[in-house]
Amino acid sequence: MTIKIKMLLIILVGIGLLFIANIYSSLQTNTAHKQYSSEESLTAHSSAWFSNMDTQFVSNLLAYDPADGSERNVGFWDPESDAFAGSTGENPLFAAIVDKDTETAEGLFAQVFSDAIMEEQITFAIAYDKRGLQLYCESSLYLVGVDPCDESAQPDYFLKFGSFVSSLENGSVRRVTQINDLSGDQPVSINDTLVFPLMDSGENLIAMVVVGRNVIDSLEQFSENFEIETAIAIGERALTVHDYYEEERPPELNKLIRTGISHAVENQTFSYSFVAEEQGTRISSIPFSKEIRASDLRILIFDDQAELLAALQEAETTAFIIFATVSLTILGLVFVMTTSSFNRIVDAIHLLEKMGEGDLSVEIPAQRGLFSSKNDEVSRLQNTIDDYRHHRQEAEVQRRDRAKRRDERDGIMFEKMAALAEQLEGQARDLLKQEIAGMRDTVSSGTDEEKERASIEVMSKAFSRMSDEVTTLIDARTHELVAAKDEINSSIRYAAKLQNALLPKTMPGDFDINVEWRPRDLVGGDIYFIKDFPDRVYIAVVDCTGHGVPGAFLSIIARSHLDKAIDANNYQSAGAYLSTVNELLKDTLSRSDQKNTSEEGFDGGVCIYYRKQHKLEFAGAKSSIFNVNGIDATETTGDRKSVGSTRMASDFTFTTHEIASPTGAFVMLTDGITDVMSPEEKPIAFGRRRVMRILRESPDKTPSTIVKNIMRSVNLYRGDAPFRDDLTLLAFSLIEDDSEISTASAVGEDP
Amino acid sequence: MIFEASQRTPRVELTPVSCLIRGECYPENISEWSEPILGALEECLGNDETEFVVDIELYYFNSSSAKFLFDFFEYLEESAEGGKSVVINWRYRAEDETMQEAGEDFEEDISACSYNLVVVEQAVA
């Protein structure tokens, strides 16, 4: 069973249950309503009937009561007065009764009642003496039923006359009196009656008076007022107005009476109200009067309810039709909606199934179901599936595209590999060809995934072949590069050899000199220079701008000028010597480049030692010379100018610092030493102060020890950091030997 | 304007009213590095601001960089001579005699600018 059918069944059953519940509730309501209206009807009719009866009784019968009657009438029953004559003498009626003067008594009674009977205020009046002998009887001319004064008339109280008489002991009595026709010609007449005794002055009963009123009139009036049919029920008999007028009872009425009486018999109840559905009539039964038992005498009321019942029936039918219509409409709508939704879902399922089979061409039918919108669940489902289908289609297109490209790629690869195979020989070629054929098979059969895998395999094989080729090529290139680098290195090494050759190799005999010369890159801008003449020695330590090959070039120029500036024949102060070098260098550099804006030139210091005078002179360009003598170390600072720089005037005169009797060790260095940086993030340069401290603290003041100590300290200081610049450290001391001085000759090296 | 530091060049921060140079300076090719900086400096000095404060905190510079610093100070001097109030703070650590001496050397060439040698414990924030 599909969900659709289940849902429809549930809705159907639900509606059926609702329908049953509705009918049940409607029935209950009706019953309750009928019950209520029965009671209502019973109460209304009873009170109307009793009220009518009471009113009639009070206005017509009670007026004759000896105690409660009208003033006029009361007088008639007073034994002490003569109301008939209007005198105060003895009551003639009483007298006539006592005297058994029936004629007189009859006349007096007639005086009291005749007018009222004539005017139909009362139906009859009868007087009896205490033994039951009729003294007087008069009845209306317009009687219905048996005439009470007829000989065949038998009032019911005659049947129990003793108790009737004794009931009057306490005065007047109201009772319903039935008068039967012993001849059976006339129907029983039913009367509301007042019965009162006539008492003489000794309180002895002398006569009884019965004043009655036939209730048929009241009943007729009652029927007219309420637009109902009525009947009087006595036990299981019934009397209707028709009986009195000697008319034929309508058959419907007879039927109703039968129904009413049988209801009473069946249910043993005599006060009731119910609707006889068959006749469309409400049948109610109320006691005839308050004084009488309903079982003995009661009134049946027939109220035509046909219209009301019809209206009720119609309302019920209308409600049922509306309910049925609404239910069927809802069921119909739900059915249509469910069916259309489920049909669309079925479409979607069909599409998904097709997609599962690989058919992406099935489309969702454009039709929309009743009450469906673009945003409802099914539409969203459909849209999502359709989107998915489009994605699948795109993916399919891409897959085909990929497959196509792969085929192309594979084709190229096979071609290239075949070409490669052709280049091979013998077994290798056959093997490769077999391999290619195998791969072709793999690539052209199987699933997409297998093809892809095969293709990748082919590709990797082709690549490994190709990479072999490339590796060979790279090896060749690398070889070339290495060769080129070797060439450069070898030329730099050669340059280094040359630069090294320019450094002094022999030292003046009266000098103890130790040098640390270390260009950063094989060659550099640092050089030192020693020139020994018979009377003097020139020592220079120079740091040319730049390093590496450019520095080395500049150092050669600088060296040549240091050489050229020497005036060996005349006294030359250190300052003058350095000034001359400056002049020459500026000349050279500005000639080579008019717009020389860079700082080509050098920093450095020169010393000239005059042997005869035993005097050492120093001039410095941003350089110092340090002297350590015992524990005392001093620094002699040169000018703060660079040799050859554009900022320098050509005629600048460097200061000559004279050391009269040079003792101890002297140290000259380039900033390669002082600018060695500590390996921190914010490094500090080694500086000259550290040099001074080493000089002071060095236990042995020989140049070699000094150089060794300074270099060790510098290396410790820089840690792992490489040298940033070329460095030159030169330490010297004079050998105190006079004989040496005289035999000294020009040593050193000429370029 | 900020020129980030490299292993061989300092960080340079230029604003219309200030300049900060911090780090080490020994580029392989000094003019390649210095030209854009000097250009930017010239631009900064060309505005209508009345004051310009320069903080220099170098740990090392090579001799080619000294040339750059000379040029740098020359621009500042010209600007100061033109009426701008230029302050140069040469910052160095107390233990760094090399930078102290360098600062003292430059002081000799400065006349129009207000030049201060400032000993620092910590770097300028």
The pLDDT tens digits for B66-110 are 888 988 999 999 999 988 999 999 999 988 888 998 899 899 889
Task: Let me know whether A114 and A127 are in one domain.
Answer: yes
CA distance to A644, A684, B59, B98, B102, per residue, from B69 (Å): 18, 19, 14, 15, 11
Gap between the Cα atoms of A715 and B56, Å rounded: 29
Shortest CA distance from A687: residue in chain B: B98
Alpha-carbon gap: A682 to the closest alpha carbon of chain B (Å): 7
| CA proximity to B54, closest of B9, B116, B112, B123 | B116
Gap between the Cα atoms of A558 and A305, Å rounded: 148
Is pLDDT at A528 greater than 90 in this prediction?
yes
pLDDT tens digits along A181-210: 888 888 888 899 999 998 888 888 888 999
pLDDT tens digits along A99-129: 888 888 888 888 888 888 888 889 999 998 8
Residue type, A289: S
Alpha-carbon gap: A546 to the closest alpha carbon of chain B (Å): 8
Size of interface A-B (CB pairs under 8 A): 52
Q: How much is the pLDDT for A745?
A: 41
Q: How much is the pLDDT for B125?
A: 42
C-beta of residue A202 within 8 angstroms of C-beta of residue A94: no
Gap between the Cα atoms of A233 and A143, Å rounded: 20
Task: Let me know whether A545 and A451 are in one domain.
Answer: no
Three-class DSSP category at B106: helix
Alpha-carbon gap: A423 to the closest alpha carbon of chain B (Å): 52
For residue A709, give the CATH number of its domain: 3.60.40.10
Residue A369's pLDDT band (boundaries 50, 70, 90)?
A: low
**Residue A39 domain-assigned?**
no
A737 or A75: which leads in pLDDT: A75
User: Is A677 within 8 Å of B59 when comparing Cβ atoms?
Assistant: yes
User: Is A671 within 8 Å of B96 when comparing Cβ atoms?
Assistant: no
Interface of A with B (CB under 8 A): 543, 545-546, 598-599, 603, 640, 642, 645, 647, 671, 674-675, 677, 682-685, 687-689, 724-725
Alpha-carbon gap: A605 to the closest alpha carbon of chain B (Å): 16
Is pLDDT at A368 greater than 70 in this prediction?
no
Alpha-carbon gap: B1 to the closest alpha carbon of chain A (Å): 23
Alpha-carbon gap: B18 to the closest alpha carbon of chain A (Å): 22
Task: Let me know whether A510 and A487 are in one domain.
Answer: no
Using an 8 Å CB-CB cutoff, list chain B residues near A685: 59-60, 96, 98-99
Lowest mean pLDDT among A70-84, A212-226, A514-528, A653-667: A70-84
Domain count, chain A: 4
3-state secondary structure A649-676: CCCCCCCCEEECCCCCEEEEECHHHHCC
Shortest CA distance from B122: residue in chain A: A682
| CA proximity to B39, closest of B71, B67, B77, B78 | B71
Gap between the Cα atoms of A292 and A272, Å rounded: 16
**Residue A154 domain-assigned?**
yes
Is pLDDT at B58 greater than 50 in this prediction?
yes
User: Is B24 within 8 Å of A677 when comparing Cβ atoms?
Assistant: yes
Q: What are phi and psi of B66, to 5 degrees?
A: -60, -40
Among the candidates A502, A530, A552, a domain finishes at A502
Residue A168's pLDDT band (boundaries 50, 70, 90)?
A: confident
Q: How much is the pLDDT for A556?
A: 92
Residue A370's pLDDT band (boundaries 50, 70, 90)?
A: low
Shortest CA distance from B30: residue in chain A: A598
Among the candidates A272, A304, A336, a domain finishes at A304
The residues, ordered by sequence, that sit 6+ positions from A483 with a Cβ below 8 Å of its Cβ are none
User: Which residue of B11, B63, B64 is the best one to mutate when testing the A interface, meaning the one whose CB has the most A CBs within 10 A?
Assistant: B63
Using an 8 Å CB-CB cutoff, list chain B residues near A683: 24, 59-60
Residue A466's pLDDT band (boundaries 50, 70, 90)?
A: low
Task: Let me know whether A591 and A447 are in one domain.
Answer: no
**Residue A688 domain-assigned?**
yes
A187 or A515: which leads in pLDDT: A515
A376: which 2 tokens?
């409802």
| CA proximity to A607, closest of A539, A654, A659 | A539
**Residue A523 domain-assigned?**
yes
Gap between the Cα atoms of A348 and A385, Å rounded: 7
Shortest CA distance from B92: residue in chain A: A684
Residue type, B123: A
Task: Let me know whether A198 and A251 are in one domain.
Answer: no
Gap between the Cα atoms of A190 and A214, Å rounded: 6
User: Is A724 within 8 Å of B26 when comparing Cβ atoms?
Assistant: yes
Task: Let me know whether A240 and A98 are in one domain.
Answer: no
Task: Let me know whether A553 and A479 are in one domain.
Answer: no
**Bridge partners for A231 per DSSP:** A300
Q: How much is the pLDDT for A238?
A: 85
Shortest CA distance from A547: residue in chain B: B28
Q: Which of B67, B98, B105 sits opposite A598 (nearest CB)?
A: B67
On the CB side of A258, CA atoms within 13 Å amount to 9
Q: How much is the pLDDT for A749?
A: 40
Strands B2-3, B11-15: pairing is antiparallel
**Bridge partners for B20 per DSSP:** B13, B55
Residue type, A445: S
The residues, ordered by sequence, that sit 6+ positions from A246 with a Cβ below 8 Å of its Cβ are none
Average pLDDT over residues A328-336: 83
C-beta of residue A121 within 8 angstroms of C-beta of residue A159: no
Alpha-carbon gap: A570 to the closest alpha carbon of chain B (Å): 34
Among the candidates A266, A281, A304, a domain finishes at A304
User: Is A685 within 8 Å of B96 when comparing Cβ atoms?
Assistant: yes
Task: Let me know whether A556 and A692 are in one domain.
Answer: yes
Is pLDDT at A439 greater than 90 in this prediction?
no
pLDDT tens digits along A555-565: 999 999 999 99
Lowest mean pLDDT among A358-362, A425-429, A571-575: A425-429
Quote the mean pLDDT of chain B.
89
pLDDT tens digits along A298-316: 888 888 888 878 888 888 8
Determine whether A96 is exposed, middle or buried from the number of CB atoms within 10 Å of its CB (0-12, 13-18, 19+).
buried
Is pLDDT at A344 greater than 50 in this prediction?
yes
| CA proximity to A742, closest of A538, A570, A534 | A534
- CATH fold of B2-120 reads Transcription Regulator spoIIAA (3.30.750)
CA distance to A602, B24, B75, B110, per residue, from B34 (Å): 21, 14, 13, 20
Alpha-carbon gap: B118 to the closest alpha carbon of chain A (Å): 16
Q: Which of B93, B97, B105 sits opposite A640 (nearest CB)?
A: B105
User: Is A675 within 8 Å of B123 when comparing Cβ atoms?
Assistant: no
Q: Output the CA angle A500-A501-A504, nearest 5 degrees.
A: 90
**Considering chain A, what percentage of its residues have pLDDT values greater than 70?**
95
Is pLDDT at A420 greater than 80 in this prediction?
no
**Bridge partners for A49 per DSSP:** none
Is pLDDT at A743 greater than 60 in this prediction?
no
| CA proximity to A639, closest of A667, A618, A608 | A618
Q: Which of A645, A671, A684 sits opposite B96 (nearest CB)?
A: A684
Q: Where are the alpha helices (DSSP H) in chain B?
A: 30-45, 63-81, 97-109
**Residue A98 domain-assigned?**
yes
User: Which residue of A637, A677, A684, A726 is the best one to mutate when testing the B interface, meaning the one whose CB has the most B CBs within 10 A?
Assistant: A684
Determine whether A76 is exposed, middle or buried from the number of CB atoms within 10 Å of its CB (0-12, 13-18, 19+).
buried
Q: How much is the pLDDT for B80?
A: 92
Average pLDDT over residues A571-595: 84
Residue A530's pLDDT band (boundaries 50, 70, 90)?
A: very high
| CA proximity to A522, closest of A549, A502, A504, A486 | A549
Task: Let me know whether A159 and A238 are in one domain.
Answer: no
Shortest CA distance from B121: residue in chain A: A682
Gap between the Cα atoms of A723 and B19, Å rounded: 30
CA distance to A572, A604, A606, A624, A688, per residue, from A601 (Å): 22, 10, 15, 17, 22
pLDDT tens digits along A685-711: 898 889 999 999 988 889 999 999 999
Q: Where are the alpha helices (DSSP H) in A119-188?
A: 161-166
Gap between the Cα atoms of A49 and A241, Å rounded: 16
Is pLDDT at A518 greater than 90 in this prediction?
yes
CA distance to A4, A256, A313, A331, A369, per residue, from A327 (Å): 18, 41, 21, 6, 21
**Residue A411 domain-assigned?**
yes
Is pLDDT at A581 greater than 70 in this prediction?
yes
**Residue A103 domain-assigned?**
yes
A589: which 2 tokens?
């550099």
Q: How much is the pLDDT for A592?
A: 54
User: Residue A747: which H helix or E strand, with range?
Assistant: none
Residue spans of beta strands (DSSP E) within A337-415:
none
Alpha-carbon gap: B36 to the closest alpha carbon of chain A (Å): 17
Can you spell out the DSSP letters for A372-391? --TTSHHHHHHHHHHHHHHH
In our burial notation (b when 16+ CB lie closer than 10 A, e otherwise), range A146-184 reads bbbbbeebbbebeeeeeebbeebeeebbbbbbbbbbeee
Using an 8 Å CB-CB cutoff, list chain A residues near B31: 598
Quote ipTM for the complex.
0.84
Is pLDDT at A618 greater than 90 in this prediction?
yes
User: Is B66 within 8 Å of A599 when comparing Cβ atoms?
Assistant: yes
Using an 8 Å CB-CB cutoff, list chain A residues near B97: 687-689
Is pLDDT at A657 greater than 90 in this prediction?
yes
A52: which 2 tokens?
């009518």
Task: Let me know whether A684 and A638 are in one domain.
Answer: yes
Using an 8 Å CB-CB cutoff, list chain A residues near B24: 677, 683
For residue A147, give the CATH number of its domain: 3.30.450.20
Task: Let me know whether A487 and A553 are in one domain.
Answer: no
Q: How much is the pLDDT for A287?
A: 86
Task: Let me know whether A641 and A622 are in one domain.
Answer: yes
Using an 8 Å CB-CB cutoff, list chain A residues near B30: 598
Is pLDDT at A613 greater than 50 in this prediction?
yes
Is pLDDT at A742 greater than 50 in this prediction?
no
Q: How much is the pLDDT for A598?
A: 60
Shortest CA distance from B96: residue in chain A: A684
Q: How much is the pLDDT for A524?
A: 93
Q: Output the CA angle A258-A261-A263, nearest 5 degrees.
A: 105
Domain boundaries, position A237: 227-304
**Residue A367 domain-assigned?**
no
